[in-house]
Amino acid sequence: IDVTVKTIALAASTLLLYLFAATLVSRLAAILAAVMYLFVTAAAFSAEGYAIYFTNDYLAILSFFAGVVALRRGNWWMAALAAFAGAWAKETAMLIAFLAGFEAIRGRMTWAAPIACGIAFAIPTLILRTIYPAPLAEWAWWDTFRMNVPFIVWEPAVIAKSLRDNLKVLLFFNVMLYLAWRAWRRTRDSFIVSLGLTLACYVVLAWMVVYIRELRHLLPFMILVIPLAMAELEANLRAEPSC
């Protein structure tokens, strides 16, 4: 059962990334983006041996990608449904409400969208916290930023570890991060700007409450990074046809 759930979730999230990428690049580049996502996913999940968490991650990524595609198409009620479903697996689903909020702030969507997504996320979260009560101090690993952010703790071993972990993240994204940044900086697509701002918020949250060395936590970025990297490559090819 677990293998089936993981397989379906991975296949569905790959399809959603393809659908989103197809709104930015050619179909061939969108297919390449989906293939790249599969390679990146394999690298992310093989980096750590805590397989007990993986099913939650597959489902959380699926829900976030579904929310992104739904909001891209203006279906905020589908995005709220994705947030509701994803919240049962992991808190990553709150990013859907963030994205809807940025769209509302920028006047591209009514405030009903972020409110609905926020409520949809809150209901499962409150139910789960009622079933499995815990003080707020134990809802997340709040002190992980001391290990993720270099020089917060002035101990040579801790500094070395945080630098090594951040280098691991940079190597994971590799040249895709640079290409995506170039494309995002020039884009006139307002939704892409909102998605970038949402994931910037996720950077703050992730570096505060997760171990960044566990690369599976970075997979939500791929819905933006990989398609934008492909878009930048296509733009370079159009500029230099001889390539």
Query: Locate tokens 């001391």: which residue?
Result: 146
pLDDT at residue 112 tops 90? yes
Inter-residue contact 108 to 191 (CB < 8 Å): yes
pLDDT at 241 over 70: no
Q: Residue 116 has which token pair?
A: 């609905």
| 54/66 Cα distance (integer angstroms) | 18
Arithmetic mean of pLDDT, 122-140: 84
User: Where residue 193 falls among pLDDT bands split at 50, 70, 90?
Assistant: very high
pTM (global) more than 0.85: yes
Mean pLDDT for 172-200 is 95
User: Which tokens hold the place of 214?
Assistant: 């566990």
pLDDT band at 78 (very low <50, low <70, confident <90, very high): very high
pLDDT for residue 30 is more than 60: yes
Q: Are 36 and 225 in contact (CB under 8 A)?
A: no
**pLDDT tens track for 38-53:** 999 999 988 766 677 7
Average pLDDT of the chain, as a whole number: 92
Whether residue 148 has pLDDT greater than 80: yes
Could you read off the pLDDT of 219-229 as tens digits, one per residue?
999 999 999 99
Could you give the CA distance from residue 37 to residue 199 in angstroms, rounded to a whole number?
Answer: 17
pLDDT digit string (tens) for 93-105? 999 999 999 999 9
